[in-house]
Copies of this chain bind each other. A is one copy, B any other.
């Protein structure tokens, strides 16, 4: 291997997102893990919080070392702004939380309930969806903020970006289904096995926070203003995976052939987006960084249906963060992300 090796750390390594970052980075040939941060747990074996990673031999610690090229931050929203801002002065921060995803400071009180402490930085961070922002990522340099997208936003944006770019979205209903790992690892009664198993329910009725990202990014692509997105997420009895069903009323009649051409062209050189000839199952991307997208022109209703499946913890979180990191540091985009999906 002649690839350079960059020194990285993970802040917030004991949650699900953090564990997934360790799983991927530990096998990344261009990376050396220098530290795994975990508040208040100094020098504890990683196996205490992540038994599946015990074999890696890593230990978590309360502090970050001085010499790093990049830090992955996986903390709850609001908790990271200050830390990220400080770190970003001297190294690349890939923030898996929402604190730097939105460009308009007014969106923070509206969607997240807090005033952003550093609105000046919002314009300087890059929304870390490589399929939409590869060039900006490549230009970031050796310090700055990558705001890694939310899981629902990732699935939805990959489904709708070609249509938005072509000015084909008159109106869209996004009905998404997620495994429960998206809710994190905090002990809450509603996420107990006994409550989740053999059940499905919608939540976030009236406005899930990821809508803000979707509207921002699709709006950026669309030639004319888009109306509000009707987004409804569901919790289903599985651990990993998101399937987004996007029901689009097009601005003009279209055809399967036009859609196929549009999507093929849009994703032609994408390593991690697979156009699926059949409606995709989340199991077919499990544990991998792939997204599977299926587009269908429905002659009966005149609508366009786009289905998009990802693993919420990989392409929807840790994998995407690593992919963006690779772009920023000029590594092959698939470094550390070559695992094939695990099925059955």
Contact = CB atoms under 8 A, between A and B. Distances in A.
A160 to B, nearest CB: 15
A198 B196 contact: no
A285 B50 CA distance: 11
Copy number in this complex? Answer: 4
A293 to B, nearest CB: 13
A52 B340 contact: yes
Interface residues of A, number: 86
B239 A194 contact: yes
A207 B299 CA distance: 10
Given A173-B247, A177-B200, A344 B234 contact: no
A206 B298 CA distance: 6
A197 B26 contact: no
B194 A185 contact: yes
A114 interface: no
Contact of A243 (B198, B202, B228): B202
A228 B338 contact: no
Interface string A198-211: 11111101110000
A87 interface: no
Contacts of A343: 19, 50-52
B284 A23 contact: no
A241 B52 contact: no
Given A177-B200, A201-B280, 4 more contacts: A16-B194, A193-B237, A201-B243, A205-B298
